[in-house]
Amino acid sequence: MKKIALPVLFLICVVGHSQDAAKEINEQVWKPFTQAIMTQHVEQFISLHSKDLVRAERDEKQVLNYEQYKTRMDQSWPKWKESNSKNNIQYTFELRFLERISKENQAFEVGYFKNESINAAGEKRTSYGQFHVALRKENGIWKILVDSDSNNGRTITEEMFQAAKPIE
């Protein structure tokens, strides 16, 4: 009986920890991340990243550090925000997950994101991408340490996106 009970207890603890970590990551990273993107709030967005950030922009074949990424956001997001406002564009951003792994102060997550904009004429544009993110807890707060994304040659579909798990 002990031989069966111990592995089952271990599995329950591991699953419970992973679920707790995912909830913490959702609250500390993904919900504010999504909000910051939809409002083009650079400071909120960049604060979710570790100062040791490695940002891999696979479609552009480049790697950026924290300062380079922040500079890019500081330069592009205000223009993006102004354009959306000026042209009455409604923008939404959503994440879904394929894989979420965590242990203590480290996590690795893979999923899809969906960008959608609707212009004043009601025309909708939707695009998808896939992300791979490593996170770590810094001073008790989850931060994005490695962030990589790609549109995978525009092969990600609405069906693929919907099949992944939403933020809970």
Q: If the chain, 168 residues long, is cut into consecutive pieces of 10 residues, what is the mean pLDDT of each piece?
A: 49 52 97 96 97 97 98 94 90 97 97 96 96 98 98 97 96
Alpha-helix residue ranges (DSSP H) falling in 26-132:
31-39, 42-46, 66-86
Domain 2-166 CATH class label = alpha beta
Q: Which residues contact 93 (CB under 8 A, 6 or more apart)?
A: 34, 37, 38, 113, 114, 115, 116
Indicate the pTM of the whole model: 0.85
**Separation CA 95–CA 146 (nearest Å):** 17
- As a whole number of Å, the CA-based R_g of the chain is 18
pLDDT at residue 4, rounded to an integer: 53
